[in-house]
Structure 1
Amino acid sequence: MPSPPHAPRGLLVAGTRSGCGKTSVTLGLLRAFSRRGLRVQAFKAGPDFIDPGHHALATGTPSHNLDDWMCGAQGTRRIFARHAAGADLAIVEGVMGLFDGYAAVDAAGSSASLARLLGLPVLLVADAASMARSAAALVGGYLAFEPDLAFCGVLLNNAGSPSHAELLREVMAASLPATPLRGVLPRRAELAMASRHLGLVTAADDAAATERLDALADWVEAHCDLDALLADLPPLMIDRDDDASFPLIGSPEGASPPLAAGGFPPSPPHAPSPSLRPRPSPPPPRLGLARDRAFCFYYAENLRLLEAAGLEIVPFSPLGDAGLPEGLAGLYLGGGYPELHAAALSQNAGMLAAVRGFCASGRPVVAECGGFMYLMESLADLSGRTFPMAGVFPFRAAMGERFAALGYRAVTTTADTPLGPSGTRLRGHEFHYSHLAGDTGEVPDVYAATGRKGPIPDRHGFLRQATLGSYVHVHLAGSPQAAWHFARACREAG
């Protein structure tokens, strides 16, 4: 194995389609390079919450989402630069097929768009099952579709036998001799990762996750020349302007200086009086973060931005804790799988009462998707069993067999919320199987949402006192002023 490169190197693993093996390949590469002693930083293209958890298990380092539609070009570059700069190797897992993104004629949100934005070469994974010469035609079409896109090679997956693998190598050498074939991976059904609604089983719920990661690394190492792949990667061109820690600005308009310790704008410089000791900074407001197997869908950058805005994040478990932590000024209830833990959540009456009372106190609360469901009157699972929840919103959540909603959302608030004044613009993603039941007209709708086909007439954001509930997962990197507003609301409530 060559010595670690002096400058970070990187690549984006993309697939010809969903289900071609790019997640398995990505995890195999992450684990293989990590156990060789390289500092490997993982990223996930798009809004997915589950794959980053597996990435983190593979590398021992948190993985970060990159999405140029939700975060914008500058926000995306900043996230990448901040975390790639200290690594030997940055590996980005793509989303869907290489060119699939926000819309049919819009490259935003696609793996290809992200690779161009970050200057990353693409390692293309193609499912070559039951193919011979057609595999070269498939790969050749992807290589030529957007001529300005750089590739560092191709991996063919699902070879049915050693003779099939050799045939595929002959086909690529004859048809695409200038394209590096980095390996031909044999079909290994036992390495398939378990799935359920919303995607893969989370790393926390997958008892075999660690063992599978090592098996995936063995699989990739046995059939790919990782030394040659690493040696051929060019150094990343990280802009040092994007490489700073980027503390959040002190006001949403950017007119004030950066926040000082505790989240408050610093005082103007002056000569201290020799007879007076400086006043101690007030402690930062404490933000309760629901985090356990039921609530595990958070963008890492959202949490960083909230901390940069001056909040102290205090995790708690709605499943296992008897009540909320002391001294909280606000709550953030993210998404996850409350429907899989509905009985346990419902039985934890002390926590339900504490959350209900906190919302009734008028302190700021943001609840997204699963967290929103937790605040409803009840949750009905797929078997039809109904479990009482916190009852903050007079709705019921009922699970369905298929997606009730899936896609990017651009949101404009129509009233003041904990995330900012009326007119605040947010970007996020919505994906869930449950649907609302009950009279939603009892609670004001404060989100005007649009999708790729234009305005969406459904009600999307609900406000009761200072509790904001929605199925939309907002990415704060696209609207960092919203983190500042949430922090201010917590300070004022505290």
Structure 2
Amino acid sequence: MKGLVVAGTHSGCGKTTIAMGLMAALKRRGMKVAPFKVGPDFIDPGFHKQICDRPSRNLDGWMLSKEYNQEVFYKNSHSCDVAIVEGVMGLFDGYDGRSEAGSTAEMAKWLSLPVLLVVDARSMARSAAALIYGFENFDSELQWAGVVLNRLGSDVHLQFIREALEGHVNIPLLGGVKRENSLNLPERHLGLVTQDENPLGPDYIDHLADLIEGSLNLDMLLDNLPELDIPKIPRKQETHQKTSVRIGVARDEAFCFYYQDNFDLLEEYGAVLVFFSPLHDRSLPSDIDGLYLGGGYPELFAEKLSENRGLIEEIKKLGDNGLPIYAECGGFMYLTEGIEDKSLNYYSMAGIFPVRIIMLARLKSLGYREVTLKASSPLGSPGEKIRGHEFHYSEIKEITGKIDPVVDHNRVNLVYQLSDRPGLKIRDEGYMKKNVLGSYVHLHFGSNPRIAENFVRVCHEISCSMLRKNET
């Protein structure tokens, strides 16, 4: 098995397009491609999955340990021909200016993968050689797979830069991609439009593959990639007893932000995941023991979500009756009194949490978060820690009811203490009423797999308790 990291000189240089094009071209050659994404992003992995016909996993140097990243990479690539890891931001961009922590370069070294550097060559000629020379010599521990020049103006432009590289840079130049607006993906406030609502059509994917095949020397790239020594991942000893529960998962155009590892871990601990659509389904799946409402864009579909009152009322009734429900970001917004959009239109939602949400024109919150549980919840006991990410353009406009910092099962309580990446406390958060827990933070269960185990266990215990109550 071979692999590489697709990294850029900076954000916006075209590494997503190049990475997707490589995936499409190699898959069309009949190769099994294992896709990965560095960082907490949800959108790019969705596109990877559509191209490669297999889930893309997130790798992250802060949310997840080095060992966890390595295990996820090895476990999900060992049966493939090539692994392609799309980086984040610029190659060396991490948490600060002093170290490589959190950077794509750090991940490349953790996984022993060579780097394919994407350079935006627009408005540059000989200067591109100086830029590439700097990247090559900045960190002597990195391995290099090659350089791709993006957004070239012409064949002459490519030749200028090729000549400039000769005698100065040792990284092989694999070719260049000319400027082409037809490849641009639409964007919105949380990033690119998702594959759930605007799937990449087969014509687009074929066009990507054609572009890469016609622009880059893929045979040279593959020949230069070393064979990876994939260690055998020892089977984990089953120290826990699997508990079979059915967890309903909201998944459609409005709710599409999930880490694949979260699904994997829930299933590992015995959950059967049953997907449903708050937009299109009129009722929940039958016989569910819990609900998982992920993030996405409920504000863009607020009117349609609000009009589906039967499903909303069913969720509220189950929550009021004690069903374990975990909701994050968009899912949390769905469980509030309602959402006010930027045009001041108000749409009522489930009303489990007595707050109203307003959409903002500016980014409200962005960054890594560590959650410390202050009280028992469906995710665990007091003191349990888990890491995640926060990214949203909305805020709580109005609190319409009682929110108590002291735990009272029948009121809404704050059960999270949030800290940022450096460890500074930001605020108390994590809204819980009975067994319904909602937050703006997207949690990665891989940072603490006990969280997945706890949620499955609580779903089982509450389900058994509710069943006994119904029988008496």
TM-score range (shorter-chain normalised) is over 0.9
Deviations 1:21-68 (A, max 9, x none): 000000100000001100111111111111011111111111111112
Following superposition, the deviation at residue 454 of structure 1 comes to: 3.7
Q: In the alignment, what sits opposite 2:397?
A: 437
SS of equivalent residue, structure 1 residue 350: helix
Cα distance in structure 2, aligned partners of 1:80 and 1:473? 21
Residue correspondence of structure 1 range 102-113 to structure 2 within 5 A:
102-113=95-106
Residue correspondence of structure 1 range 477-488 to structure 2 within 5 A:
477-488=446-457
Task: Write the letter of the residue equivalent to 1:222.
Answer: G
**1:212 pairs with one of 204, 217, 222:** 204
The answer on 1:122 being equivalent to 2:82 is: no
Q: Is the 8 A contact 1:9 1:236 kept in 2?
A: yes
**1:201 pairs with one of 193, 202, 214:** 193
SS of equivalent residue, structure 1 residue 71: coil
Following superposition, the deviation at residue 441 of structure 1 comes to: 6.2
Q: Is the 8 A contact 2:196 2:256 kept in 1?
A: no
SS of equivalent residue, structure 1 residue 314: strand
Cα distance in structure 1, aligned partners of 2:79 and 2:211? 28
The answer on 1:383 being equivalent to 2:375 is: no
SS of equivalent residue, structure 2 residue 48: helix
Following superposition, the deviation at residue 213 of structure 1 comes to: 1.9
Q: Is the 8 A contact 1:169 1:184 kept in 2?
A: no
Task: Write the letter of the residue equivalent to 2:83.
Answer: A
Cα distance in structure 2, aligned partners of 1:444 and 1:83? 39
Aligned Cα RMSD in Å?
A: 1.5
SS of equivalent residue, structure 2 residue 54: coil
**1:349 pairs with one of 295, 309, 316:** 309
Deviates more, 1:305-314 or 1:432-441: 432-441
Q: Is the 8 A contact 2:354 2:402 kept in 1?
A: no
Q: In the alignment, what sits opposite 1:268?
A: none
Deviates more, 1:299-308 or 1:96-105: 96-105
Q: Is the 8 A contact 1:352 1:390 kept in 2?
A: yes
Q: Is the 8 A contact 2:47 2:200 kept in 1?
A: no
Q: In the alignment, what sits opposite 1:272?
A: none
Deviations 1:169-208 (A, max 9, x none): 11112421x2101111111122111111111111122255
Cα distance in structure 1, aligned partners of 2:442 and 2:101? 18
Cα distance in structure 2, aligned partners of 1:157 and 1:125? 7
**2:222 pairs with one of 205, 215, 230:** 230
Q: In the alignment, what sits opposite 2:298?
A: 338
Q: Is the 8 A contact 2:374 2:382 kept in 1?
A: yes
Q: Is the 8 A contact 1:165 1:186 kept in 2?
A: no
Q: Is the 8 A contact 1:366 1:468 kept in 2?
A: yes
The answer on 1:182 being equivalent to 2:151 is: no
Cα distance in structure 2, aligned partners of 1:62 and 1:382? 34
Q: Is the 8 A contact 2:75 2:233 kept in 1?
A: no
Q: In the alignment, what sits opposite 1:269?
A: none
Cα distance in structure 1, aligned partners of 2:310 and 2:96? 45
Cα distance in structure 2, aligned partners of 1:44 and 1:408? 16
Cα distance in structure 1, aligned partners of 2:97 and 2:271? 40
**2:89 pairs with one of 96, 107, 111:** 96
The answer on 1:72 being equivalent to 2:65 is: yes
Q: Is the 8 A contact 2:129 2:168 kept in 1?
A: yes
Cα 1:208–1:46, aligned 2, differ >3 Å: closer, same or farther? closer
**2:20 pairs with one of 1, 22, 27:** 27
Gaps of 5+ in 2: 404-411, 464-472
Fraction of identical pairs, as percent: 47
SS of equivalent residue, structure 1 residue 166: helix
Q: In the alignment, what sits opposite 1:467?
A: 436
Cα distance in structure 2, aligned partners of 1:103 and 1:384? 39
Q: In the alignment, what sits opposite 1:299?
A: 259
Task: Write the letter of the residue equivalent to 1:172.
Answer: L
Deviations 1:399-421 (A, max 9, x none): 11121111111111111111110
The answer on 1:12 being equivalent to 2:41 is: no
SS of equivalent residue, structure 1 residue 218: helix
Q: Is the 8 A contact 1:322 1:348 kept in 2?
A: yes
**1:421 pairs with one of 378, 381, 384:** 381
Following superposition, the deviation at residue 102 of structure 1 comes to: 3.2
Q: In the alignment, what sits opposite 2:143?
A: 150
Q: In the alignment, what sits opposite 2:74?
A: 81
Q: In the alignment, what sits opposite 1:289?
A: 249
Cα distance in structure 2, aligned partners of 1:74 and 1:319? 39
Q: In the alignment, what sits opposite 2:445?
A: 476
Cα distance in structure 2, aligned partners of 1:344 and 1:141? 52
Q: Is the 8 A contact 1:102 1:408 kept in 2?
A: no
Cα distance in structure 2, aligned partners of 1:139 and 1:386? 51
Q: Is the 8 A contact 1:44 1:64 kept in 2?
A: yes
SS of equivalent residue, structure 1 residue 356: helix
Q: Is the 8 A contact 2:419 2:427 kept in 1?
A: no
Deviations 1:439-459 (A, max 9, x none): 286132211111134424333
Q: In the alignment, what sits opposite 1:450?
A: 419
The answer on 1:140 being equivalent to 2:115 is: no
Cα distance in structure 1, aligned partners of 2:76 and 2:447? 18
The answer on 1:42 being equivalent to 2:35 is: yes
Following superposition, the deviation at residue 338 of structure 1 comes to: 0.6
SS of equivalent residue, structure 1 residue 426: strand
Cα distance in structure 1, aligned partners of 2:384 and 2:143? 37
Deviations 1:273-325 (A, max 9, x none): xxxxxxxxxxx211110111111111111001001111111111111111111
Gaps of 5+ in 1: 1-7, 250-256, 265-283
Task: Write the letter of the residue equivalent to 2:173.
Answer: L
Deviations 1:244-264 (A, max 9, x none): 4x58x5xxxxxxx243xxx24
Cα distance in structure 1, aligned partners of 2:248 and 2:99? 38
Deviations 1:122-163 (A, max 9, x none): 101010111112111111112222221111111111111221
Paired residue total: 454
Residue correspondence of structure 1 range 261-300 to structure 2 within 5 A:
263-264=242-243, 284-300=244-260
**1:310 pairs with one of 257, 261, 270:** 270
